[in-house]
């Protein structure tokens, strides 16, 4: 007999490894300040001046209802429909947009909108560790399906093999956390064909949730295709937390496809408000909504990020590290020297360098470096990476 509901325990079980890592890391940095912190995607430099300016400006009330309850307000939804139509080349209407508390809020909304209790949701492995607890909270089941082991492409055979009559959503995360992979239009087209076939076979629609918070963080001129462009039964979630490197400001959206059959599009549009309200008023705080057009113009320095990626990859390669070359995101993913990421991460932590062991991604041989660090931090950390590679424990 437990006090809390089974879904609360299931969510806790799902996030337990990450939570344990988080507490160990917090205790370590409380004791000895980090030389370099490459763990979670948090800012290590002062926020963008344009972001601060916009927040200050829009926090100042101009009308009596400035801080009234807000939902899918006409101005920001119209603005975003225009932005998305230009960026993704589809004719979004304001009613296709739901303003949410970041990508988290949009993912939660998609789960509430689409999942019956007991439904299954396919997620990438390795992949972001919060799908599992969120699915558990929705009384649904996470089905991790491995990406291709070398290039981390979508493995269509593996996805086909994992689909059952309970499969309702396939999460596509491109650019992908933690590998930085961006899926080609051809790969997404092949997935779309598979899901069309499987949906028809089972008489039940399988949706794609396109988790795109890193959509604008791309390197080397690599193009981005949203799965929505090739599969109408797609919902997009987006967050400004990555491009502004300000995840403590909860601003994002869920987008409904303009290419859905009209009756289904209208149904989802109609349900937007009720689902957001039922999910604890899942709408960004009012100043963020007013600031949206200003924030849309702001971005972290992607050229600097690309430079840091190259600096780190070059240095690590010379010491024998086998890393992937990310096409996007701010992560580097690779094999831990010695093949035991927990031991490797602890060794680095003793040297004041904090990385994420692959154990938190269910890939214990690998590790992740988050490059939201400044140049000085990267330079300070390199000798420790060199030494840790020499003495794999
Ligand atoms: C793949 C992925 N999806 C969604 C999110 C959630 O983004 P936000 O916290 O901005 O809502 C994250 C954040 O780390 C992520 O990495």
What digits encode the pLDDT tens for the residues 37-78?
999 999 999 999 999 999 999 999 999 999 999 999 999 999
CB of 180 within 6 A of ligand 1: the answer is no
* pLDDT < 50 positions in the chain: 392-393
If asked whether residues 237 and 371 sit together in one domain, one would say no
Whether residues 241 and 131 share a domain: the answer is: yes
DSSP 227: G
Residues 282 and 343 in one domain: no
- Tell me: do 150 and 278 sit in the same domain: yes
Structural element, H or E, at residue 291: helix 286-296
Q: Per the omega criterion (within 30 degrees of 0), is the bond before 294 cis?
A: no
pLDDT of residue 1: 78
Q: Same domain, yes or no, for 126 and 183?
A: yes
Model pLDDT, residue 287: 98
Do 162 and 209 have their domain in common? yes
By three-state DSSP, how is residue 232 classified? Answer: coil
Beta-carbon contacts of 109 under 8 Å, excluding residues fewer than 6 positions away, are: 98, 100, 237, 254, 272, 275, 276, 279, 282
For β-strands 331-335 and 322-323, DSSP reports them as antiparallel
Whether residue 124 has its Cβ less than 6 Å from ligand 1: no
Mutation to probe ligand 1, out of 100, 103, 209 (largest number of atoms < 8 A from CB): 103
**Are 91 and 204 in a shared domain?**
yes
d(CA 39, CA 367): 10
Residue 375 included in any domain: yes
Structure letter (DSSP) for residue 96: G
User: Is residue 173 lining ligand 1, measured as CB closer than 6 Å?
Assistant: yes
Residue 53 in domain: no
CA atoms of 292 and 297, how far apart (whole Å): 9
The answer on 305 and 289 residing in a single domain is no
Expressed in angstroms and rounded, the spacing between residue 213 Cα and the centre of ligand 1 is 6
Q: Domain containing 95: what range?
A: 64-296
Pick from 296, 294, 297: nearest CA to 252: 296
Say if residue 42 is in the same domain as residue 108.
no
- Cβ-based burial of 280 (10 A; exposed 0-12, middle 13-18, buried ≥19): exposed
**Per-residue pLDDT, 351:** 94
306 shares a domain with 174: no
| Together in a domain, 17 and 76 | no
What per-residue confidence (pLDDT) applies to 391? 66
- Quick one: DSSP state of residue 249? S
Q: Which domain-ending residue is among 296, 314, 339?
A: 296
Q: Which of 242, 269, 296 is the last residue of a domain?
A: 296
- Give the number of the atom of ligand 1 that is nearest the alpha carbon of residue 242: 10
SS3 166: coil
**Between the CA atoms of 95, 96, 97 and 98, what dihedral angle is there, to the nearest 10 degrees?**
80
- Residue 274's SS3 state is helix
Return the residue whose CA atom lies nearest to atom 15 of ligand 1: 128
Domain boundary among the residues 296, 313, 345 is at 296
DSSP conformational letter for 360: G
Statement to judge: residues 292 and 207 lie in one domain: yes
Our count of domains for the chain comes to 2
Residue 270: closest CA among 284, 282, 256: 256
């Amino acid at each position: 007999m437990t006090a809390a509901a089974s879904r609360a325990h299931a969510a806790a079980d799902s996030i337990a490894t990450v939570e344990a890592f988080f507490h160990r890391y917090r205790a370590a940095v409380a004791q000895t300040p980090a030389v370099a912190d490459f763990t979670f995607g948090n800012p290590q430099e002062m926020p963008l001046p344009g972001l601060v300016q916009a927040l200050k400006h829009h926090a100042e009330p101009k009308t009596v209802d400035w801080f009234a309850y807000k939902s899918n307000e006409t101005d920001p939804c119209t603005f975003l429909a225009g932005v998305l139509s230009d960026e993704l080349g589809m004719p979004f209407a304001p009613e296709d947009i739901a303003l949410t508390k970041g990508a988290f809020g949009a993912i939660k909304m998609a789960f509430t909108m689409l999942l019956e209790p007991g439904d299954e949701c396919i997620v990438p492995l390795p992949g972001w560790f919060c799908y599992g607890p969120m699915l558990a909270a929705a009384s649904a089941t996470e089905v991790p399906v491995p990406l291709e082991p070398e290039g981390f492409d979508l493995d269509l055979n593996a996805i086909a093999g994992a689909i059952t009559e309970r499969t309702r959503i396939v999460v596509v995360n491109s650019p992908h956390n933690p590998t930085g992979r961006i899926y080609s239009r051809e790969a997404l087209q092949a997935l779309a064909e598979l899901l069309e076939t499987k949906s028809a076979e089972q008489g039940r629609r399988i949706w794609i949730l396109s988790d795109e918070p890193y959509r604008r963080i791309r390197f080397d001129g690599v193009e981005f295709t949203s799965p929505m462009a090739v599969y109408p039964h797609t919902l997009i979630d987006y967050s400004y937390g990555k491009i502004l490197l300000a995840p403590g400001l909860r601003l994002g959206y869920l987008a409904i496809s303009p290419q859905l059959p009209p009756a289904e599009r209208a149904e989802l549009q109609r349900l937007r408000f009720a689902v957001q309200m039922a999910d604890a008023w899942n709408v960004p705080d009012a100043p963020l909504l007013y600031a949206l057009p200003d924030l849309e113009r702001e971005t972290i320095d992607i050229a600097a990020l690309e430079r840091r990626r190259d600096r780190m990859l070059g240095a690590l390669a010379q010491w024998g590290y086998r890393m992937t070359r990310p096409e996007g995101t701010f992560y580097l993913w690779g094999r831990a020297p010695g093949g035991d990421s927990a031991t490797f991460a602890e060794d680095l932590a003793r040297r004041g360098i904090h990385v994420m062991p692959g154990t938190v991604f269910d890939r214990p041989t690998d590790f992740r470096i988050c490059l939201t660090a400044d140049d000085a931090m990267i330079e300070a950390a390199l000798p420790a990476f060199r030494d840790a590679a020499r003495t794999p424990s």
